[in-house]
Structure 1
Amino acid sequence: MSLMPMCFIAILLSILGLSLGLWSPSIVTLEGTHQWPTTIDKKLYEDLFTYAHLVDIAYCVSNIGKIDKPFQCPLNCSESFPNMTLSYQWAFDNSVGGYISSTYGDIFQYKEEEHNDEVKKIIVSLRGTHSLHDSMIDVDTNMVDYKNNGNSLPDCEKCAVHEGFMSVYEKTLKNIESILDSEIEESPFCEVYFMGHSLGGSVALLLALHFLDKGYDNLKVVTFGQPLVGNKEFVLWADQVLQSNSSIDSSKSNRKYFRVIHKHDIVTVIPKISENIKEYAQFDNQIYLNISSDTIEPVRNEVVDCKSGKNLQCISGDLKEITSKFNYYKNHNTYFRKLGLCSFKRFIDGNEIKIF
C-alpha cells in the first residue's frame, strides 16, 4: 500500500484512539443478519453513474478552482450535461464546497436536446474532503443535539449528530438557503437532487432533511462514501422520513435516500463512539458495491441493495480487521469513477477563491 492511503487510514484511526495494530471489531456493528442482498434494477444502476459524475464535478469547486458558466469544467460538464445551467457555487474553506445547477432537460440522457421536459431539475452537489487535515476534522467524534423545525416532519426526539458535520451543514445552509429557495419557488413542481461524497454526503443528507421539513417533498438524496452521521434515534428518524425501507425498484419506489457504499470503505462505518459516550448508528439504507479497489466501473450484479445496515453480507461484515492488502484510500474515492481529480485536470492561476 502506498504512503498516502496508509496515512489516510492511520489518521482516521488515530483520531478514534486506535492504531493499525490495535484495530478492534467493536468499531463496526457485527450483530446483524445474513439477509442476502439483491441486485438493483437496471435504471437505478445506470442513474448511479450520472449521480457519481455530478458529485465528482463538485470537486472542481475549491479555493483554487471553479466551474465556468454556463456549465463548463475539466470533467466534460457541458458535453455530458448540455442543457445544465450553473446557478451558484461556493467554497468558503477547503473542507467544503459545491454547486447548484438546474436544467429542464433529462439529466440521465447524455446528448444535446431541446428543453422539452417541463419539469425543472435542481442539482445540489457537495464534494468531500480535499486533504488529510479535512479528514481529521471529519472524524472528530463529538455529537450535538439535533432538532428539526417540525414544520412538515415529526419531531426528531432525542436525536444527536456529529458536531463537525452539523457545523459545516449550518454554514452551508446559511450560504445557499435563499438561493435554493428562489430556484424552487420559480418552479414549484421541480425535482431537487441533493448529492455528495464523503463529508459532502453527510451535509447533503442534512440539507435534504431540512428542505423536506420545509415542505419540499419532491426530492432525492444520493450519497457516496458517506460517514455515519448521528445516534440511533436520528438514524431511525431519517430512514423513516426518507422512506429508506421502500422498494429499491426505481419504477415504483417512493424512496428518497440512496446511500452508496464501496466494499471496504472504512469511512462509511466511522465514527463509532462519541466523546460524550453516544454511539453512532448505521443507516438501513445501503447500496453496496461488491468490488475491489481496482475495479472502477462495477457491473450491475455487483451493485446490490443490502436491505439493512446490519447485513453482514455488506459493509457491516467487511471490516473485521485492518490489513495492508486493502487500499482504503482507493475504496473511499472510487464510486463508478475516480472521484476528486478535477483539480489535477485544469490549469489554475493560484488565486484564492472565496464566494462566487
Structure 2
Amino acid sequence: MGSASGLLFSVLCLVFVIRSAGALRLSTPLSTPANDTISRELFFHLEELARIVDISYCVGTAGLGIAKPFSCASHCDDDDFNDFELVTAWNTGPLFSDSCGYIALSHPPSRPRILVAFRGTYSLANTIVDLSTIPQEYVPYPGGDDDGATSDFLAPRPADPPKCTNCTVHTGFYTSWLHTRKTILPQLTEAINTHPSYDIVLVGHSLGGAVAALAALDLRARGWHPSVTTFGEPRVGNAALASYINARFDISSGRPASRYHRVTHASDPVPLLPLAEWGYAMHGEELFVSAPALPFAREDIRHCRGDEDGSCIAGSDAESAGRGVPARFRFWELFFAHRDYFWRLGLCVPGGDPKDWYRKYPKHGDDGGEGDVLDVDEL
C-alpha cells in the first residue's frame, strides 16, 4: 500500500513539475529585501533550539534514547543543558504517524522554560506519502480528547473556544497530534501547574514542526501562551487555517511576532508541501535561511513579509525551477537542505553530527568569531 501511494505521488509530482516549470505563481513578487536580518540574540536563540529539537531524534532510537536527569547520545552533555531536567519522552510509533519527542524543564540559572520538542520522521518515504494525505475539517478543540484521564492536573477546557471557519488540516499531521496529546497532556499540565512562571516553548522539525503548530493552537485554546519555533515546517492546512494561526499568534506582515518563528531553508522542499494546488497554504512569521549549506552566518537569515514572501522560500521555488526542477520537487534535498538548520538534524550519535558544525556557533560575536559573550538567558 505504501509503495503504491508513493508511486502515485511521484507520478503526480512529475505532472506538476512539467506544469510548474513553465510558470510558477507567487503571491508576492520577487523583491530585494530591506534591512531585515535577524538580531544577534535571535540567531543564537534559534541555534540553541535547533540543538534542543535535534535531541528529540534520540527518542525511539534503538539502544540510545533519552534518560533522566537529562542525558542522551547526542548533545545533552553540552554545558548549556546542565540545568535541564527530563520530564518525559514519548514515542507513539509509526502506526500513529511516527510521533516522538520529549518534555524537559530548563531551571534557573538558565532561562526558566517548559520545553516540548517534537521530532521529525525517520522515514523519508513516509514523509512524502504522508504529505499527499487528503485534508479533513479542523476543529480547534475537539470534545472527548480528555476522556478517561484520571490525573489531578487536567488541562483547562475553554467554555467557548475560538472557531476556525472553513478550516481544513492535513489528516496525518492532525492524527499525530491527537495521539500525542493524549500521551503528554497530563505531564505537560502538571509541569505548567508546578512551574506557573516558566515559559512554555514548543519546538519541532519537519513533521514535528507541523505537530508543534497544532499543539500550539490547542494549548492556546486552553488559555496558555506558548511560544513556537519550527524548522522545515510543512504546510499544515488550507488558507483559512493559515489565517487562523496568524490571528491566534498575532502575526501580521508589518510586525514580527515574538511568539512564533517558522524557519525555512533555501531548496528545502518540505515548507512548499503539500502542494498549493491541493489546497494547502503557508502561514506567516517566516525566517528564511538563504545560505545553501552549513554553517550559517547571521546575515544569511532574515525576516520575511506576509505568508508567502517572494524573496523567501516561495521565491526559492521559482529560482530552482529556472535550473530545471522546482524546489518543492527536489526530494533529494530531504537529506540536505531539509535537515540543515544550524546542525544537520536527525542524527543521534555521540557528540552530534560528526562534522561538528555546532562548533561554528560559539556564544561569541555575530559571525561566530571573537567578540562579546552572548548571555542566552537574556534572549
Q: What's the TM-score, normalizing by structure 1?
A: 0.81
* AA of the residue aligned to 2:12: G
Instruction: Tell me the SS of whatever aligns to 2:344.
Output: coil
Q: Which has the higher contact order (CA 8 A, sep 6+)?
A: 1
Q: C-alpha distance in 2, partners of 1:188/1:177?
A: 16
Matched, 1:87 2:87: yes
Q: Would the aligned equivalents of 1:28 and 1:269 in 2 still touch at CA under 8 Å?
A: no
Summarize deviations over 1:202-257 as a string: whole Å, max 9, x none: 0011111101110112x211000010000111100101111222743xxxxx5311
Give the gaps of 5 or more residues in structure 2.
142-157, 353-379
Change (3 A) 1:15 1:164: farther
Matched, 1:311 2:309: yes
Change (3 A) 1:23 1:186: farther
Summarize deviations over 1:311-349 as a string: whole Å, max 9, x none: 211111112325499751201010011100115879xxx
Q: C-alpha distance in 2, partners of 1:16/1:285?
A: 32
Q: After TM superposition, what 4+ stretches of structure 1 lie above 4 angstroms from structure 2? A: 10-13, 26-29, 150-153, 324-327, 343-346
Aligned partner (choices 47, 50, 53) of residue 48 of structure 2: 50
Q: Would the aligned equivalents of 1:194 and 1:220 in 2 still touch at CA under 8 Å?
A: yes
Q: C-alpha distance in 2, partners of 1:123/1:279?
A: 32
Aligned length: 315
Bigger mean CA deviation after superposition, 256-265 or 65-74:
65-74
- Counterpart in 1 of 2:281? 281
1:128-139 matches, cutoff 5 A? 128-139=120-131
1:15 deviates by 5.0
Q: Percent identity?
A: 29
1:136 deviates by 3.4
1:195 deviates by 0.7
Matched, 1:340 2:340: no
1:21 deviates by 8.8
1:68-79 matches, cutoff 5 A? 68-79=67-78
Q: C-alpha distance in 2, partners of 1:76/1:273?
A: 37
Matched, 1:268 2:271: yes
Change (3 A) 1:301 1:46: same
Q: C-alpha distance in 2, partners of 1:318/1:20?
A: 20
Instruction: Tell me the SS of whatever aligns to 1:92.
Output: strand
Summarize deviations over 1:149-207 as a string: whole Å, max 9, x none: 36575311111100110111101011101110010011222201111000000001111
Q: C-alpha distance in 1, partners of 2:11/2:56?
A: 28
Instruction: Tell me the SS of whatever aligns to 2:317.
Output: coil
Summarize deviations over 1:119-147 as a string: whole Å, max 9, x none: 73111001111013321343123111111
* AA of the residue aligned to 1:71: F
1:1-356 matches, cutoff 5 A? 14-15=9-10, 17-19=12-14, 22-25=17-20, 30-37=26-33, 38-62=36-60, 64=62, 65-79=64-78, 80-94=80-94, 95-105=98-108, 115=109, 120-149=112-141, 151=159, 154-217=162-225, 219-245=226-252, 247-248=255-256, 255-272=258-275, 279-292=279-292, 295-320=293-318, 321=321, 323=325, 328-329=333-334, 330-342=336-348
Change (3 A) 1:127 1:203: same
1:34 deviates by 3.7
Q: Would the aligned equivalents of 2:75 and 2:351 in 1 still touch at CA under 8 Å?
A: no
Instruction: Tell me the SS of whatever aligns to 1:44.
Output: helix
- Counterpart in 2 of 1:353? none
Q: C-alpha distance in 1, partners of 2:326/2:308?
A: 25
Q: Would the aligned equivalents of 1:152 and 1:215 in 2 still touch at CA under 8 Å?
A: no
Q: Would the aligned equivalents of 2:120 and 2:205 in 1 still touch at CA under 8 Å?
A: yes
Q: C-alpha distance in 1, partners of 2:49/2:126?
A: 23
1:19 deviates by 2.1
Q: C-alpha distance in 2, partners of 1:11/1:301?
A: 38
Change (3 A) 1:20 1:146: closer
1:41 deviates by 1.1
